[in-house]
Amino acid sequence: MKKELGAKGYLFPMPVAMIATYDPEGKVDVMNMAWGTLCDTNMVVCNLTSSHKTVKNMKAGSDFTIALATKPLLEVSDYFGLASGNVVKDKFERSGLHAIPSKHVKAPVIEEYPLTLECRFHKDYTDEEGNYMVYGEIVNVLADESILKEDGSIDFAAWQPILFSQIDNAYYEVGPKASAAFSAGKIYLQKKH
């Protein structure tokens, strides 16, 4: 028997994604994004609160990068969600991490994160409740060689990405591969009614 839980955002999992921008003075800002996903093969959508320093940076002309958090960077990634760049003026410096300019967009790349999406600001809008939606075009993906297999594909065991659950406000590790996609369900294609 199923129990009704009400209207909740229980779409699991969500990436633990660090959005990095430059402020108008060229200072690095990073935040941990709670709501965002792919919305096309080369597009991301991020749902942010309008008061975030990151949003102010985007509105001032910054593109952005999205670095996906890993188990070794869990604590600093969580910190980027706890501290506000509007309040903690040396937020990025406190992290001890390092950033370099992207070669493709007007945004920083945080060196310690092994996988980064470089995104060009595409379009945005603010809804009635003050939520800021921004769409970014992925123009390049940077991957550290340490997480690549010999054929150039991502090695999930070496990468160690973590996931966020809105269900219990917790981070989870990615487990072993369950199956190849677009393959396991083929047995139903041959089934007769």
Structure confidence by residue, pLDDT tens digits, 47-59: 998 899 999 999 9
Contacts of 168-176 with C-beta under 8 Å, sequence gap 24+, read 171/16, 171/69, 171/74, 171/78, 172/13, 173/71
Q: Are 36 and 86 in contact (CB under 8 A)?
A: no
Model pLDDT, residue 37: 87
What stretches of the chain show up as alpha helix (H) in DSSP?
A: 53-59, 74-82, 91-95, 156-159
The CATH number given to whatever domain includes residue 160 is 2.30.110.10
Please check whether residue 59 lies inside any domain of the structure: yes
Model pLDDT, residue 19: 97
Model pLDDT, residue 152: 95
Domain containing 184 equals: 14-188
Model pLDDT, residue 134: 93
CA pair distance 119, 42, nearest whole angstrom:
9
Please check whether residue 193 lies inside any domain of the structure: no
| Number of domains comprising the chain | 1
Please check whether residue 8 lies inside any domain of the structure: no
Model pLDDT, residue 187: 86
Please check whether residue 121 lies inside any domain of the structure: yes
Could you report the per-residue pLDDT of 153-183, keeping only the tens digit for each?
Answer: 999 999 999 999 989 999 999 888 889 899 9
Regions in the chain scoring below 50 on pLDDT:
none
Model pLDDT, residue 26: 96
Please check whether residue 7 lies inside any domain of the structure: no
Please check whether residue 4 lies inside any domain of the structure: no
Please check whether residue 153 lies inside any domain of the structure: yes
Model pLDDT, residue 192: 77
Six token digits for residue 89 = 């003026």
Please check whether residue 28 lies inside any domain of the structure: yes
CA pair distance 169, 11, nearest whole angstrom:
12
